[in-house]
Chain A
Amino acid sequence: MKIYLTLFLTFMRIGGLTFGGGYSMLPMLQREIVERHSWVTESELADYYAISQCTPGVIAINTATFIGFKKSGVLGGIFAALGVAFPSLVIITIIAAFLQNFADYAIIQHAFSGVSVCVCVLIFDSVRKLWKNTVISKSTTVIFGFVFILSAVFSISPIILVALSGAAGVIIKTLESKNKEVK
């Protein structure tokens, strides 16, 4: 029972500290889930993000469910997902009830200008960590380059890119093992 509470509270903290979309959750996940609790590895986190982007639903919920399940099964997944959503539920309800013009206050706008700069820096730092664990060879460097350009410059859908990269992984590995056999 205690692990479910730990999962809920950990993900509650992560949800309360995530500003923006599912991507801005990555620095918190690396800190809390990979470094502090060692529930999943950096590479597994990359797997979950890849799948979360091509399946229905909010990326943050998908990733939380994956990690919760990995740690302690179906209930773990559910508790982690509920934890990540909980702070939103509380904060947004308060704002919707009492502070409809919340976003118009100058002090809030200034604070969040600062926060958005920080989110950039943190994502940059996270990508660097992820890079070390996922871009590990010539072929993975090529995949990274292709996907980055196709996504950032040509806005190709992540679903297509993930499907192609998965196929590329299978083809590259199959060819590599064939080459070894020949030698």
Chain B
Amino acid sequence: MILLQLFFEFFKIGLFSIGGGLATLPFLYDAADKTGWFTHADVTNLIAISESTPGPIGINAATYVGFLTDGLIGAIVATLGLMTPAIIIILIISRVLEKFQKSSLVQNLFYGLRPASTALIASAGVLVIQNAFFVISASGISVQIPHLILGVALLIIVNKVNLHPAFYILIAAVAGIVFKL
């Protein structure tokens, strides 16, 4: 019974959180209050774990909370619950797009959407840059020089050597450990 509830709870979260994994967090706090399956502290711990593991944050959140609620099965059910509305909605949109792909209205729509999409990703990038290079504290904003040096070095490597992105990430992780960033 709890599995069905778990699926439904995450189905709802998947349906109402728009704009990516971070948007699921308020819903998770809400679900913690309502169900008592997990605590606010669990959600906070989950954010820390999510930031230091691979995988989309929303999926990590569902798996973690699902596991706390009902073990491995709980993790699977919560994750599938979160994914189901997204998959259904996107498949419907895909069908519609496929049908009207050639229409000039859709093409014109995308003419405007594409640069906007690039801009939105660039804007998210600004936030990521803030978190990676700057420390904001009571005494003001300070730049983390070692991080900046690593960033410049990586930028040069990325432009000079064409590797799979995973290699750059590995290099950065090793550099982080060696220089204790």
Binding site for B on A (CB under 8 A): 15-28, 31, 43, 46-47, 49-62, 65-66, 69-70, 74, 77-78, 81-82, 84-85, 87-89, 91-93, 95-97, 100, 102-104, 107-127, 130-131, 133-135, 140-141, 143-148, 151-152, 157-159, 161-162, 164-170, 172-174
Distance of A7 from chain B, by nearest CB (Å): 13
Q: Is the CB of B129 within 8 A of A162?
A: no
Would A135 and B108 be within 8 Å (CB), given that A18-B54, A111-B176 are in contact? no
Of the four ranges (under 10, 10 to 19, 20 to 34, 35 or more), the interface on chain B belongs to: 35 or more
- Any A CB within 8 A of the CB of B89: yes
> Is there contact, CB below 8 Å, between B89 and A17?
no
CB atoms of B112 and A158 under 8 A apart = no
Chain A residue numbers with a CB within 8 Å of B87 are 57, 61, 65, 77-78, 81
A-B contact count (CB 8 A): 369
**B125 in the interface (beta carbon within 8 A):** yes
How far apart are the CA atoms of A72 and B143 in the complex, in Å?
47
Contacts A55-B90, A166-B109 given; does A116 touch B128 at CB 8 Å = yes
Proximity string of chain B (58-79) to chain A, C-beta cutoff 8 Å, 1 when within and 0 when not: 1110011001100010011001
Q: A88-B59, A88-B60, A118-B169 are in contact. Are A93 and B75 (CB under 8 A)?
A: yes
**Would A92 and B89 count as touching, CB distance under 8 A?**
no
A53-B120, A117-B154, A118-B171 given; name 7 further pairs at CB < 8 Å: A58-B17, A74-B91, A77-B87, A89-B75, A111-B173, A118-B169, A166-B109
A contact patch SS: helix
Asked if residues A31 and B59 are in contact (CB atoms below 8 Å), the reply is: no
- Given A117-B154, A118-B169, A166-B109, decide whether A69 and B90 contact each other with a Cβ distance below 8 A: yes
- Residue of B21, B151, B174, B177 touching A59 (CB-CB under 8 A): B21
Docked pose: A53 CA to B113 CA in angstroms: 11
- A24–B51 Cα gap in the complex (Å)? 12
Bound form: Cα–Cα A148–B125 in Å: 11
Instruction: Assess A114 versus B14: contact at CB under 8 Å? Given A69-B91, A165-B113.
Output: no
A145 to B20 alpha-carbon distance, docked (Å): 23
Nearest CB of B to A109, in Å: 7
Q: Among the interface residues B57, B116, B165, which one has the most CB atoms of the partner chain A within 10 A?
A: B116
A93 to B169, CA, bound (A): 23
- The reply to whether B67 and A92 form a contact with Cβ atoms under 8 Å apart is yes
Measured between beta carbons, the chain A residues less than 8 angstroms from B176 are: 110-115, 117
Query: Contact: B90 with A169, CB < 8 Å?
Result: no
Determine the chain A residues whose CB is within 8 A of the CB of B94 once the complex forms.
65-66, 69-70, 77
Contact among B67, B79, B113 with A166 in the assembled complex (CB-CB below 8 Å): B113
Residue from A87, A91, A114, A118 having most chain B Cβ neighbours under 10 A? A114
Pick from B24, B120, B131, B169: contact of A151, CB below 8 A.
B120
Compute how far the CA of A17 lies from the CA of B123 in the bound complex, rounded to whole angstroms.
Answer: 22
Q: Which of B48, B64, B117 sits near A50, CB closer than 8 Å?
A: B117
Compute how far the CA of A148 lies from the CA of B91 in the bound complex, rounded to whole angstroms.
29
What residues of chain A lie closer than 8 Å to B104, measured between beta carbons? 173
Nearest A residue to B17, CB-CB = A56
Report the minimum CB–CB distance from A118 to chain B (whole Å): 3
CA distance A22 to B93 in the complex (A): 19
Tell me the minimal C-beta distance from A148 to chain B in angstroms.
4
Q: Does B43 contact A (CB under 8 A)?
A: no
Q: Which residues of A contact B85 (CB under 8 A)?
A: 56-57
